[in-house]
Amino acid sequence: MVIGGVDRMEEKIKVGGIMESAGRAIVKLLSIPDRADAAGLILGSLGRQSVNIEFLVESTDLDGFSNFTFCIDEGDLERALTALESVKAEVGAKVVTYVPDVSVVSVFGPHFREKPRISGAMFSALAASGINSLAISTSISSVSCVVASQYIDAALDALYGAFEAPHRVRQRAKGY
């Protein structure tokens, strides 16, 4: 029987924990021509505005343009938009967009390299609860995704149903 995206006949995957960061915003800089200095210019601009990046995805679309997606503290949104607008023309980007009021939920290690089922189990559990991810990022020891904040409690419930996790960490953004 499958419940919350997990086959109950199958043992839950042990993970180090599940963490949530609320009070975030996604900012995207889209359709950037391929150039070696783009990432340095963009990230340098954000750094000069003291914008900390919690989550970063860079991808290339079918036309060969780069797209950068950042998840930041929502309190830094105006500074991030200012920084990206100031570098937009220099890197040749077409669009700066943002989505406020999101949360990051992460399943973390250790030893994810030896546990290939984690990503599939995570996103199956979220989908079974009707939760769509707005962005996905991974590292050697974690899988993270951004969800609309209104779904964070359901997302956490789904993930605790899918994984054996000893720690429940809730991190709120500044001012929350």
pLDDT in tens, 23-77: 999 999 999 999 999 999 999 999 999 999 999 999 999 999 999 999 999 999 9
Same domain? For 10 and 75 the reply is no
> What 8-state DSSP symbol labels residue 11?
P
Closest CA to 12 of 163, 158, 128: 163
Same domain? For 47 and 95 the reply is yes
Same domain? For 71 and 107 the reply is no
Same domain? For 122 and 84 the reply is no
Same domain? For 137 and 148 the reply is yes
- E strands along the chain, which residues? 2-3, 6-7, 13-14, 17-32, 53-60, 66-73, 95-108, 135-138, 142-148, 163-164, 168-171
* CATH number of the domain enclosing 13: 3.30.70.260
In a domain, 63, yes or no: yes
Q: pTM of the predicted model, to two decimals?
A: 0.84
Residue at which a domain ends, from 100, 115, 139: 100
Same domain? For 32 and 72 the reply is yes
Residue at which a domain ends, from 84, 100, 116: 100
In a domain, 175, yes or no: no
Contact 132, 90 (CB under 8 A): no
In terms of phi and psi (left: phi > 0; alpha: psi -120 to 50; beta: otherwise), the region of 7 is beta
Residue 116 and residue 143: Cα distance in Å, rounded?
11
Helix (H, G, I), strand (E, B) or coil at 15: coil
Same domain? For 95 and 147 the reply is no
Average pLDDT over residues 145-157: 96
Q: What is the pLDDT of residue 53?
A: 96
pLDDT category, 167, cuts 50, 70, 90? low
* Count of the separate structural domains present in the chain: 2
Give the structural domain span for 71: 25-100
